[in-house]
Structure 1
Amino acid sequence: MNPKYTIKGRGAQLNASNRFLELNHEMRDDFLEFCHKEGEESDKNKTLYLEVFPKTIVNKVESPDIGMSYSMNAYQGCEHGCIYCYARNSHEFWGYSAGLDFERRIMVKKDAPKLLEALLKKKSWKAHTIVMSGNTDCYQPAENFFEITRKCLEVFLEYKHPVAIITKNALILRDLDLLKELSKDNLIGVNVSITSLSEETRRVLEPRTASISKRLETVKILSDHGIPVNVMLAPIIPSINSHEILPLAKAASEHGALGIAHTIVRLNGAIGEIFKDWIHKTMPDKAEKVLHQIENCHGGNLNNSRYGYRMHGEGKIAEQINSLVKLAKLKYFKNKQMPKLNIQLHEQLKDGQLKLF
């Protein structure tokens, strides 16, 4: 595809084939050229919100590489459009592509607060930190309209249940009132994802996310209100943001973060095809260099699914990245630590009221 036909405001520039479907849709260059000459739109590039009706909302996380036991996702698909997002592959289970469909077909779970409350009231449920979101951002643009995340936070607060949040959107500050109430009982931890200090890099990697300055401001405001914040330097992509590890850690610390965490990019499933197409269009001069360095981190492949290696990679480049992160933690977070959330209060509030007897 000629760069002049790129789809603005989106990360992926194609709809990769869905491995579960027999047929696939292809946007051909001759069709794009025809539309260009005729002054017609080849793609309206609109976001569709589709309501779905799951029976449950909280998922048990089995992976030993992920630092969470339970997660929940109010939305499937994510309009932020981060090109590297591992969650893209999950869209194939819904019959869509991991490419543009992931960013433009957003499934909305309006019943999430009710499903969450039903779980928290179960006699068999024992409090564990539930993470919003382990898959897609709970403060993506859809949250502006549906406010499902806010309603879920109200449930967590009512039942005094611990919750952690992962986001890269400043919209979280809308719910500062609830976050402050949760923090009084040590029931909330926030992880803000910041992958670069460069707006130019941010715009191509994560086209519909909050600006870097807004994210750093979010870290500071949350921290100033006593809400513990960890900054996710994830993923680190060799030759794109790997040189920013120390400056990113310094900025996170100066804005009040209590820690940092990182992963090294891995292009699993359809993401390999989507990422390769994207980088050849957006960074053609160094596309092959970046791809080869990613392969260097995963035993010669763009992806590594082995537990214990897939998140932080292996090889010389991965060692250098992991060493820089260790140095950053020693330099900027030596006497800082995220607190463990309180799991003691929920049991006596399963019916929404404090039990006296």
Structure 2
Amino acid sequence: MRTIAVDAMGGENAPKAIVQAVLQAKAELTDTKFILFGDQKKIRKLVGSDQDRIEIVATSEIINDEDEPVKAIRTKKDSSLVVAAQFVKQGKADALLSLGNTGSILACGIFIIGRIKGIARPGFMPTLPVKNSDDGFNMIDVGANAKSKPEYLLTWAKMASYYAEKVRGVKNPRVALLNNGSESDKGDDLHQSAYQLLLDSDLNFVGNIEGNELLEGKADVVATDGFTGNAVLKNIEGTSSVLIHLLKDKLLNSGFMVKIGALLIKKALKGLVSKFDVDKYGGAVLLGVDAPVVKTHGRSDQRAVYFTIKQIDKILKENIIGEFRSEFAVKN
């Protein structure tokens, strides 16, 4: 039986959306148990009588967005996030899910659960949409590391490639390096060195990819330094949100004839919105720590959390962490 530790108090819609998602997923994942951490009274009321394979652990503190991450995990030892991470560290749970403070989740992953031996720096990896497929692509690192080394990018690419193959079902994933040009000599020393390492590896390296090509579907995995990755991720999220908002506003507030036109293309518009529906991909995985740690957006609703739970269950089934332990202990 697989066990997922769930920080039930993280995010804007906690604990309701989280508990509802757990109940929905539990009905499908019959060999998975859930441990919910947080306000016991609130959680128990939401769970109701459906307590099979659900355990509730009472905690008295919550880590807020404004808390300094490392300080928070040291001072708020009875927070839902920290206690959940401790359960994973102690082997009482197999994976951690949270919608909370990104920095604190990262700190819990590194300082409580711990890194896999042979991996110098874990990296955050979301799955993002592409225009010509529903498969999307993985980008790593998107913010776990402010500074990077070429060796880190190679390690992240290896882990992300394995994830893409085993969890997303992509055969022989195409790996690209995010850079400021397609030529092999583009970029600074970091990117030129990383390019050579990727070229010499056994990965299916397809070369550099530029920012304007990311959503074209030219790569299944994109490796980048954490600073650039975080900036690019937020740009993609912000641009997608603004465009969809503007489109809806124009269709709804541009007169009767435009509304009629909107009805005629309603199916196509739904397809467009679905294309940029990142909820279906689950959350961002902290690859490189000694258990699956997945963070989904703080604004996530029941649907987004449900898909993230399914994602975690797939990671556990494929024994991703065990494979990483073997790979990097032997070769690094």
TM superposition score normalised by structure 2: 0.28
Q: Which fold has the larger relative contact order, with Cα–Cα distance below 8 Å and residues 6 or more apart in sequence?
A: 2
TM-score by length of 1: 0.26
Indicate the structure with greater helix content. Answer: 2
